[in-house]
Amino acid sequence: MKVVTPQTEAEAERFVQLAGPVMDDGEAMSTAIALHRGATLVTDERIATNYCRSEGIACLSSLDMVQAWALHDQASDDEIVRALTGIAQRARYRPPRSHALFEWWTRYVDG
């Protein structure tokens, strides 16, 4: 995972197309870059996720990333609780019940 900025005119043009009418600026920038570079976008915004699916852009949620880290590093339950609680507090995020990892989240945050 790395932070990037637009490097081509095509990325900048796609950003302009998406920003405002389709999604907010941050998601529009990230989506435009992912589309043009064939990268995977990590987002929890439904509009961006739906757009990515419609355009064939690989897209993961933040919970996908946290769960992958937890499994890869064999994180303890306490580490997982701290990570998910931090997301809940700082980002004011709670996954919808329809999220594939909702039960996993609930086990650590609400359990």
- Which phi and psi angles does 34 have, rounded to 5°? -60, -40
**Residue 106 pLDDT class (50, 70, 90 cuts):** very high
4 confidence band (pLDDT: 50, 70, 90): confident
Structure tokens at 5: 């900025």
pLDDT at 1 over 90: no
Instruction: Supply the pLDDT for residue 32.
Output: 94
In the chain, what is the greatest distance between 2 CA atoms, to the nearest angstrom? 48
